[in-house]
Structure 1
Amino acid sequence: MDTRLAKQARQLNIRNGGPNCPIPPIVLMTDDQRLPDPRPAITGLPRRSMVIFRHYGLSALDRAKLAYDVRPLCRKHGHLCLIANDLALALKLDADGVHFPEYRIQKTPHIFGQVPDGMLVTSACHSIKTLRRLSMLAPWQLPNGVLISPVFPTQSHPGQPGMSFQLFLQCAALCQSIGLAPIALGGIKTNNVENLQRSAVASLAGIGFSAK
């Protein structure tokens, strides 16, 4: 991973997350299309990063097999490992936590109350409406961090612009005000990360971080 981007992420994490921030500076999102084999990327992360294992396109069996490789690899390199949208698999793997897509807060908000104490929880967010729904959860159900996206145009959604930067700033500030770590996701590169310096963002997330 580009050292300049990692340095920017650490600075944001220290300034906006503080010493007790539960989310590391760098969050790697796995993806079966853009990152079919996430293992090399995991080994290249700065120590004490976080991996959110998605790979939604695989069959349940193949996804579980790959997750069983990813979990010990994360532990070996000092990374946190969250399993996306599968609490049962996260528990079987003794993962550090679980990540929920945005639709879970809209359709099945009770899932946030089913996560055992001590597990990290993150949630995807693409609008301020989602954040307001999250803020209505009981304090003990609130996620630790929220991935706000897309901040910038991204390869995952070609041709689609990121959210307006003003809206992004509002979402990040609202996250911080209710005690959720704001995580920026979408098209983050070394040539645009400077734009996040005046935001409340505590961590940077991406599938394929670029140096350009």
Structure 2
Amino acid sequence: MPEFRDVRLYCFSPGGFLQDRDPIEVVAAQIRGGADVIQLREKGLRKRDRIDLGIKLRDLTRRKGVLFIVNDDIDLALFLDADGVHLGQGDTPIQVARPLMKDKIIGISTHSLEQIDRAVESGADYIGVGPVFDTSTKDDREEIIGLDILLQIKDTCPIPYVAIGGIGKDNISSVVKAGCHRVAVISDIIQAPDIEEQCKALRQILL
């Protein structure tokens, strides 16, 4: 299992993007293409269906040596024995999550320098920083932060950080030039004609 500091490509379960494809195969294709992390992010599924999918993804990621993170559900993360949980600004505070998660990974979404500082001080293991570009994958979109914030933290952030939000093959090079070599990609991968090859192409740029 990789250390989080070695993560480059952070990927996701397909959510509501692909109604006509097996979500397990979608994730398997991402892993074959070089995904280091898979996040279970299925807010539209019923609880039972989310659990069933989570069990299958936990088995797949464990067999393939890929980190498995659950979005915004500590109980499910513990039930699945996930490697960690990812929390948004409005989710369970890390001070509450840490005693439950113990030494498992806790990631925090951040959208400003102030939130980054608070996440670091509170003991987050990594942070998501964004949205860097415009994104269509969230209904409650935050204000676009652009590349400047990545430039500001590239030499000072003491924990791993992952750029997220509208990142794809057309703009990932600018993220790397801003000093960030860890990216989370959703739609540009999930909606690609060949998911495995798209992941490989993105992964190559991140090296």
For Structure 1 versus Structure 2, the TM-score category normalised by the shorter chain is: 0.7 to 0.9
Map 1:154-193 to 2 at 5 A: 154-156=135-137, 162-170=144-152, 172-173=153-154, 177-193=156-172
TM-score by length of 2: 0.75
Residue 30 (structure 1) aligned with residue 17 (structure 2)? no
Residue 102 (structure 1) aligned with residue 89 (structure 2)? yes
Equivalence for 2:192: none
Equivalence for 1:121: 106
Give the partner amino acid of 1:144.
D
Q: d(CA) in 1 for partners of 2:23 and 2:70?
A: 14
Aligned residues: 185
Per-residue deviation, residues 54-102 of structure 1 (Å, max 9, x unmatched): 1112222221121111111112222110111222211121111111112
Residues 114 and 81 (structure 1 numbering): CA distance in 2 closer, same or farther, change over 3 Å? Answer: same
After TM superposition, the structure 1 stretch with the greater mean CA deviation from structure 2, 152-161 or 122-131, is 152-161
Q: d(CA) in 1 for partners of 2:174 and 2:102?
A: 36
Runs of at least 5 residues in structure 1 that lack an aligned partner in the other structure: 1-18
Runs of at least 5 residues in structure 2 that lack an aligned partner in the other structure: 190-197, 203-207
Secondary structure in 1 matching 2:187: coil
After TM superposition, the structure 1 stretch with the greater mean CA deviation from structure 2, 122-131 or 25-34, is 25-34
Equivalence for 1:70: 57
- Following superposition, the deviation at residue 136 of structure 1 comes to 2.8
- Following superposition, the deviation at residue 122 of structure 1 comes to 1.1
Q: d(CA) in 2 for partners of 1:112 and 1:160?
A: 23
8 A Cα contact 2:68 2:83, kept in partner:
yes
RMSD: 2.8
Q: d(CA) in 1 for partners of 2:130 and 2:120?
A: 18
Q: d(CA) in 1 for partners of 2:75 and 2:142?
A: 34
- Following superposition, the deviation at residue 190 of structure 1 comes to 2.0
8 A Cα contact 1:51 1:82, kept in partner:
yes
TM-score by length of 1: 0.74
8 A Cα contact 1:47 1:79, kept in partner:
no
Q: d(CA) in 2 for partners of 1:150 and 1:34?
A: 19
Q: d(CA) in 2 for partners of 1:191 and 1:26?
A: 16
Give the partner amino acid of 2:109.
A
Give the partner amino acid of 1:202.
H
Question: Stretches of 4+ moved more than 4 A in 1?
Answer: 157-161
- Following superposition, the deviation at residue 152 of structure 1 comes to 1.4
Per-residue deviation, residues 6-57 of structure 1 (Å, max 9, x unmatched): xxxxxxxxxxxxx965352111123522255532221112346101111112
Residues 162 and 35 (structure 1 numbering): CA distance in 2 closer, same or farther, change over 3 Å? Answer: farther
Q: d(CA) in 2 for partners of 1:160 and 1:99?
A: 17
Residue 55 (structure 1) aligned with residue 36 (structure 2)? no
8 A Cα contact 1:23 1:50, kept in partner:
no
